[in-house]
Amino acid sequence: MRTYVEPLTFGHVIGYVGPLDDADLQRLRPLGYQRDELVGKVGVEAGLESILRGTNGWADVVVDARGQIVKTIAMQPPVAGHAVYLTIDASLQRATARALAAGLSRDGKTAGASVVIDPQSGEVLALVSLPGYDTNLFTHGISQAAYNGLLTNPDRPLLNRAIAGQYAPGSTFKMVTAIAGLQEGKITPQTMLGCPSYLTYGGWVYHNWAGYSLGYMNVAKALAVSCDTFFYQVAAMVGDVTLARYARAFGFGQAKELEMPGVQPGLVPDRIWKQLTCGVPDLNSDACRWTLGDTITFGIGQSALLTTPLNQAVYVAALANGGVVLEPTLVHLVRDASGRATATQQRHVVGSVPASADNLQAVREGMREEINRPYNMNYWFRAAGVPADGGGKTGTAQWGGSGLNTPTHAWFVFFAPFAQPDIAMSVFVEGGELSEVEAAPIGVDIMQFNLNNHAAIRATTPLPPA
C-alpha cells in the first residue's frame, strides 16, 4: 500500500497505484497479474510499472481438512521490485510549486505549469502542474462524490498540464522563425526591417502589439522588443512548409519519450495539415486553403500551432546548449532488489537544430537583450536581486474568442547562465493576460531559489546504501 508524501507538489510526477479494473486485467493477465493486485495508473508509477512491480512468489502446498499446510511441494519466493531514483530535485520541485502557486494567486489565476530541465543532460529537475490533487485518495479508495468533484472541477486538477496541456506558444516561438529566416538566407543578423504598428496581407490587417512604429531593427532587437510585424515579414519570406520544418527540428509536434504516460505532442500546422484536417470534401474550398495570413500568424506562434510546457523546456534547452535537442528524462538511477545499479541516466540526443553557431548566437543575443536594460523585463530581475545573466522570452498567446474578445495565456521561457547554461525552464499561466507581468516573475522566483541553492541542487545526492 502506497502512502504519498506531499501529493499536491509531487503527485503529477509520481502518480499513484490503484486496483486493476477490467480493462487493466485483460491487458495485464498474460503478464501474471491477478484481480486483487494494484497497478500504476498515472505518472511514473504507471510509466515504470514493470520496473517497480517485482515478481510474485508462489507455493504448491498440501493442506489438511482444516486448511492447515502439511506439506510444501514446490515454491518460488517473491522478488522485490527495483528502486528508482528520480532526476527531480525535491527542494527545487517544492520551490517551483511555491513560486507558481504564489504567482497564480497574485494575479487571480488558478492553473499553470512549469518545467525545469538541465540543458546539458536532459534531466528534468522540476515538473509542476497546478492545481494538483491528493493521489492518496485513489490508492486508499476514493468515494464517488470525491471523484465526481475532481472530474467536474473547472480547473481540471487531474490534467497534468506540464505534459498534456496543449497551447499556442505565442511570441516564445519567435526564435524558431528567426532561426529559419537566418539559416535560409532570407535575413542576416544585420538585416534591418521595419516594425510598423500593422501590416496588410491579402486585404487583412495584422497588428503589432504596439500601436505605433518602433522603427527599423535587426533580429536581436526584434526578439528583445517582441516585434510582431518584424516576424510577420520573416515568416512570409520563409513560408509555412519551411517554418514547419524548423519547428519540428526544435521538437515541436513530437511527444517526448518521458517515463510516464499521457505526454502530448502539440501540433505543427502547414498547408498539408490543413488540407488533411479541413473536413470539407472540396479541398479547394476556403476552409482547406492555407493562406498567407496562416503563415504570418504561424510565425509569431499563433495559427494552429500548439505546444506543451515540457516541449517548451526542451526547446529552450536546445537554444541554450547550442542546438542539441535532448530527450528529457525523469530517471537518474535504477537499482535491483540486491542494490545493484541496473540503469543510470544517459544523455540521449534525439536531434539537432539545422542552424549555424553564428545564427544561433544572434538569436540567443536577442533573448539576452530582452531580460536586460533598457527593456522592461529587466525590472523583475533587478527587483528580485537576480542577475540577468541568461536569455529569456515572454509570450502572450491568443486562443479562442473573436474580435476584441480574445482570451490569452502567458508564457516565459528562460535559460542561464548565458555562457555555460545549466538550467532551462518554461513557465505557463493559463488565462494569463500579460506574460511579462504574470509569467516572467514566476520564472525569476524559481531562478532566485536555484541561485541560492545551486550547489545543493547540482550535488550528486548520496543514495541510500544497498
Instruction: Return the residue matching grid coordinates 504598428.
Output: 197
How far apart (Å, rounded) are the C-alpha atoms in residues 247 and 288?
22
* Per-residue pLDDT band at 29 (split at 50, 70, 90): confident
Q: What's the confidence (pLDDT) of residue 401?
A: 62
Q: What's the confidence (pLDDT) of residue 466?
A: 45
Is pLDDT at 405 greater than 80 in this prediction? no
* Per-residue pLDDT band at 38 (split at 50, 70, 90): confident
Number of domains in the chain: 1
Determine the average pLDDT of the residues in 367-392. Answer: 92
Cis peptide before 131 (omega within 30 of 0): yes
Q: What's the confidence (pLDDT) of residue 57?
A: 86
Q: Do the domain assignments include residue 374?
A: yes
Determine the average pLDDT of the residues in 292-310. Answer: 96
We report the CATH number of the domain holding residue 412 as: 3.40.710.10
Q: Do the domain assignments include residue 268?
A: yes
Q: What is the mean pLDDT of the chain?
A: 93
Q: Do the domain assignments include residue 466?
A: no
Is pLDDT at 186 greater than 70 in this prediction? yes
Q: Do the domain assignments include residue 358?
A: yes
Q: Do the domain assignments include residue 17?
A: no
Is pLDDT at 451 greater than 50 in this prediction? yes
* Per-residue pLDDT band at 26 (split at 50, 70, 90): confident
- pLDDT tens-digit readout, 211-263: 999 999 999 999 999 999 999 999 999 999 999 999 999 999 999 999 999 99
Q: Do the domain assignments include residue 343?
A: yes
Structural domain of 102: 90-136+167-458
Is pLDDT at 287 greater than 70 in this prediction? yes
Q: What's the confidence (pLDDT) of residue 403?
A: 56
Q: What's the confidence (pLDDT) of residue 402?
A: 57
How many other β-carbons are positioned within 10 Å of the β-carbon of residue 27?
A: 12
State the pTM of this model.
0.92
Reading the block at residue 80, the C-alpha cell is 522485490
- pLDDT tens-digit readout, 68-107: 999 999 999 988 889 999 999 999 999 999 999 999 999 9
- pLDDT tens-digit readout, 117-157: 999 999 999 999 999 999 999 987 888 999 999 999 999 99
Determine the average pLDDT of the residues in 422-450. Answer: 96
Is pLDDT at 295 greater than 70 in this prediction? yes
How many other β-carbons are positioned within 10 Å of the β-carbon of residue 237?
A: 19
Is pLDDT at 461 greater than 70 in this prediction? no
Q: Do the domain assignments include residue 147?
A: no
Given phi > 0 = left and psi -120 to 50 = alpha, else beta, which region is 84? beta
* Residue of higher predicted confidence among 314 and 143: 314
Reading the block at residue 112, the C-alpha cell is 499553470
Q: What's the confidence (pLDDT) of residue 280?
A: 82
Q: Do the domain assignments include residue 65?
A: no
Determine the average pLDDT of the residues in 192-204. Answer: 94
Any idea which of 45-59, 233-247, 309-323, 439-453 has the lowest mean pLDDT? 45-59
How far apart (Å, rounded) are the C-alpha atoms in residues 21 and 33?
12
